[in-house]
Homo-oligomer: A and B are copies of this chain.
Amino acid sequence: MNEEDYFKNLTDRERAIFEGGISMGSLFHQFVGTPVSTDTVTSLEIAIHDSILLQPAIIDVDVTIDKDLIIKNSGVMGYTSLTGDMLDVRLTTKINEKTIVTCISYDEKLQYPIMYIED
């Protein structure tokens, strides 16, 4: 079966939403736990960007890791582990003419790094 044949039951918008969800879940669970400091945050952001850009339908990845939270969570060891509340990410997926932007950001009230579709 060709890749496209798997998605005949989805509209372009639905598939762009699906692929955005997949890649956001992938990014979170692949990279959470990685050792990170303010010195290494840039190379980690680049590796996340490059690897997620490989995934189906992804045309743009914008990753910012919260440096203040890295500093706050780093004790005497000088580094910490990447956590979900440090992630501010926008993934753009495109299927034909339909473009969707999937986001993650930490919601203090929910105590939860929520993933959603931008208007």
Contact = CB atoms under 8 A, between A and B. Distances in A.
A69 interface: no
Interface in A16-70: 17-30, 32-37, 39-40, 43-44, 46-56
Interface residues of A, number: 65
Given A17-B10, A114-B6, A119-B9, A50 B54 contact: no
A94 to B, nearest CB: 15
A57 to B, nearest CB: 11
Given A3-B76, A10-B17, A43-B50, 7 more contacts: A3-B114, A18-B21, A18-B102, A25-B25, A26-B28, A33-B84, A74-B111
Given A9-B119, A46-B47, A111 B28 contact: no
25 contacts: A1-B107, A1-B109, A7-B116, A7-B117, A10-B17, A14-B17, A17-B21, A20-B21, A22-B25, A22-B115, A25-B25, A26-B29, A29-B30, A30-B33, A35-B55, A36-B51, A37-B54, A43-B49, A44-B50, A46-B46, A54-B79, A73-B111, A76-B109, A76-B110, A81-B83
